[in-house]
Amino acid sequence: MNLDFPLQIDPRGRTARSNDDAHIRDLIEQVLFTSPGERVNRPDFGTGLMQLVFAPASQELATATQFLVKGALQQWLGELILVQDVVVEATDSTLEVQVVYQINRTQENRLAQFSREVP
Question: Would you give the end-to-end CA distance of the chain in angstroms?
Answer: 33
pLDDT of 78 over the 70 cut: yes
Extents of the domains making up the chain: 2-117
Question: What pLDDT does residue 57 have?
Answer: 62
Average pLDDT for 44-58: 75
Residue 28 contacts residue 99 (beta carbons within 8 Å)? yes
DSSP three-state, residue 91:
strand
Average pLDDT for 63-74: 88
Please, what is the Cα angle at 82 between 63 and 72, to 5 degrees?
50
DSSP three-state, residue 98:
strand
Architecture of domain 2-117: Roll (3.10)
Lowest-confidence pick of 56-60, 62-66, 68-72, 89-93: 56-60
**Average pLDDT of every residue of the chain:** 84
Using a pLDDT cut of 70, give the percent of the chain over it: 85
Question: What pLDDT does residue 71 have?
Answer: 92
